[in-house]
Amino acid sequence: FLKPTPGGPARPAGPGVVALGDCMVCHTAPDGPAYAGGLGLKTPFGIIYSTNITPDPETGIGRWTSAAFKRALREGVARDGHLLYPAFPYIHYTRMSDDDIELAYAWLMSRPPVRVKQPDNDLAFPLNFRPLLAFWNALYLRPGDGAAPGTGQVERGRYLVDTLGHCASCHSGMNLLGGERSPAFEGGTVDGWHAPALTRLAQGSAPWTRAELADYLQGGLSLTHGAAKGPMRPVTERLAAVPRADVEAMAAYLVTIQQ
Ligand code: HEC
Ligand code: HEC
């Protein structure tokens, strides 16, 4: 799916954007149809179910315009205007380029529609009261402007790690309000797994090299550090499908954030 851009490097088309954004991992229930939602995400505040993002008009996004889709990714607002929970990492997707959002939309709209209604969320009051999310957004949402990322390798890597890959949502840890801790990438806990700091990969008895990072991100295996386990495994499975240049860009960026 490499789409050559005249005068520029090959850039992944729809499937690549959706793989880099990990959309399928959250929007697919165990053994369920792809993108039809229903995966229960455990948050400190209760269980939030991912939605159906297949083009079914009743239970999915079949009636969503590309403008409504863009607003969901950029502002965390659903088509009917309700605010979405930040278990959906829109605080990262907000900086996706307009082009990438269009590619993701076109790709998802070309998937087979699946009619399935997802369970209601299991949240206690006041967290089940969505308007409160406006306060959360005021604290944590910094809307992006749709600009394309820079073309240099490190800039591309930063975009893939910070925006599409939303790596910080696991690797930064959460504060009491469910916001990501800063500084970013100091390590966190997800589903009982430790997501190690990404700022100290060059330390310890077996420092990661750039090549090892690229291999691990794409193949889920590092000869010196072993296989990716737990919630990291599906991330690497999705990255198996992206152009090699993209995981190399991520590795190049990760090298620049080492302490
Ligand atoms: C970490 C898990 C996660 C990832 C990754 C993720 N989503 Fe979601 N998404 C959710 C959850 C959970 C919701 C429902 C939030 C709610 O109900 O408030 C959601 C909601 C949405 C909605 C709103 C749908 C509706 O009917 O209201 C859209 C559109 C969407 N996601 C698209 C995407 C796209 C495109 C990607 C990849 C670029 C993606 N999501 C990646 C968890 C995720
Ligand atoms: C859903 C949560 C989640 C997401 C998203 C995620 N990671 Fe991870 N990551 C983990 C966990 C958990 C581990 C530990 C896995 C293990 O113990 O095998 C890990 C391990 C790693 C490691 C190995 C670190 C070490 O010291 O062993 C690297 C490197 C890494 N992740 C990079 C990334 C990058 C880059 C992204 C974004 C593209 C990313 N991760 C997205 C949860 C996540």
Residues 6+ apart with CB under 8 A from 1: 12, 13, 14, 15, 16
Residues 9, 12, 14: CA angle, nearest 5 degrees: 150
Listed in order, the ranges of the chain carrying CATH 1.10.760 are 149-259
* pLDDT grade for 7, boundaries at 50, 70 and 90: very low
User: Ligand 1, atom 35: nearest CA belongs to which residue?
Assistant: 23
> From the CB of 173, is ligand 1 less than 6 Å away?
no
CA distance 212 to 196: 16
Q: Ligand 1, residue 83: give the atom nearest the CA.
A: 18
Give pLDDT tens digits for 32-75: 999 999 999 988 778 999 999 999 999 999 999 999 999 999 99
User: Ligand 2, atom 42: nearest CA belongs to which residue?
Assistant: 232
- Supply the pTM of this predicted model: 0.94
Give pLDDT tens digits for 109-142: 999 999 998 888 888 777 778 888 999 999 999 9
**Contact between residue 3 and residue 150 where contact means Cβ atoms under 8 Å apart:** no
Proximal ligand: closest to the CA of 104: 1
Average pLDDT, whole number, for the chain? Answer: 92
> From the CB of 218, is ligand 1 less than 6 Å away?
no
CA distance 247 to 156: 10
Compute, in angstroms, the gap from residue 73 CA to the centroid of ligand 1: 8
Inform me whether the pLDDT recorded for 11 exceeds 80: no
**Contact between residue 53 and residue 131 where contact means Cβ atoms under 8 Å apart:** no
Q: How many CB atoms are closer than 10 A to CB 223?
A: 8
CA distance 149 to 159: 6
* CATH number for region 149-259: 1.10.760
- Strand 221-222 and strand 193-195: pairing? unpaired
User: Ligand 2, atom 40: nearest CA belongs to which residue?
Assistant: 167
> From the CB of 133, is ligand 1 less than 6 Å away?
no
Which residue from 26, 64, 102, 133 has its CB within 8 A of the most atoms of ligand 1, so it is best to mutate? Answer: 26
Token pair 């939303």: residue: 166
Proximal ligand: closest to the CA of 198: 2
Give pLDDT tens digits for 195-205: 999 999 999 88
Which letter does DSSP use for residue 166 in this model?
-
Inform me whether the pLDDT recorded for 210 exceeds 90: yes
Collapsing DSSP states into helix, strand and coil, what is residue 103? helix
AA letter at 242: V
